Amino acid sequence: SALRLEDMRIPHSYLKTFQGPATGVIVERERLNKYGTPLLGATVKPKLGLSGKNYGRVIYEGLKGGLDFLKDDENINSQPFMRWRERFLNCMEGINRASAATGEVKGSYLNITAATMDEVIKRAEYAKEVGSIIVMIDLVMGYTAIQTAAIWARENDMLLHLHRAGNSTYARQKNHGINFRVICKWMRMSGVDHIHAGTVVGKLEGDPLMIKGFYTTLLATELKVNLAYGIFFDMDWASLRKCMPVASGGIHCGQMHQLITYLGDDVVLQFGGGTIGHPDGIQAGATANRVAMESMVLARNEGLDIFSNEVGPRILRDAAKTCGPLQTALDLWKDISFNYTSTDTAD
């Protein structure tokens, strides 16, 4: 049975029975006091094996260097080398120190995914108690669990980040399963504030047009048919708030001109290895990403064609003249790109 759900139009009256994201893009920006630029994040690496103390150190250095968020990876929950309470406490120490040092609101997505819903809520309550502004769940929890977590987050003024771990098991094949854009619709209805939605240029392959369709699905107040983007139906979002897309996986600051052109401002750009793999340390890696992003946004706002192969790299080189960490990062990763043939195309 070669059946695949490519898209669905959800009626206005049915959408009205869902609350959607409690925070959404605009309120998140107000809470962080960040406007007109993408947000910056990173995943802690190595994702498995660090002690709580060392994990918190990674958080501190990344945030102090200029990132808005760090995050647990999808498979960190509570393992013998680091139990979840230990991680939450050390993360919060890093966050609080970095916030105090920079004067910015910062956070780290604390993964509350667990074996039972009772345990998920217990971890969520603890995250709130120790002062976190954001918690994270994995898509493999299932749709009931996701909505339960989203309603809890709404009631407790917490941002909710959804890592799409497991989506490829049914979104990857062309002749069977569910297209990821449908999952985007379901997740916006469920009420998550963030969802991983592809990068175009990273290691998680993605056709630029299809990814644009995912981002449009998450961010538009009204969808118009656009077959190139894979949007098959007109659909009004019935005033449900926007869901912040997250770009993560194999991206680095040398691709900043492409990322900003393809993905726009309403996105969290997450450079994991592209921050933590920096030769001069994590703080330097974070600074390189921040300087690259701000210089590129500035150039775009001045009307420069940042996407061109001459202009984009030149802006980065110019910024690197007064930012050593950026120069080091550009030298290190200049040749790295993942050129996969995308499986998710419109044909």
Q: At what angle do helices 256-263 and 208-219 cross, to 10 degrees?
A: 50
Q: Is the dihedral of CA 73, 117, 29, 85 positive or negative?
A: negative
CA dist 270 and 248 (Å) reads 5
Q: At what angle do helices 282-301 and 52-64 cross, to 10 degrees?
A: 30
* Token pair for 162: 């959804």
State in Å, rounded, how far the first CA of the chain is from the last one. Answer: 19
Does residue 71 carry a catalytic annotation? no
Q: Which residue has 């009256």 as its token pair? A: 13
Does residue 163 carry a catalytic annotation? yes
CA geometry: angle 135, 191, 188, nearest 5 deg: 120
Q: Which amino acid is at 305?
A: D
Out of 64, 71, 106, 163, which one is annotated catalytic?
A: 163
* 127, 161, 225, 282 from 135: Cα distances, Å: 7, 6, 34, 22
* Token pair for 203: 């290691």
Out of 45, 47, 128, 203, which one is annotated catalytic?
A: 45
* Token pair for 307: 């996407």
Contact between 160 and 194 under an 8 Å Cβ cutoff? The reply is yes
* Token pair for 346: 């419109």
Q: Which residues are tagged catalytic?
A: 45, 163
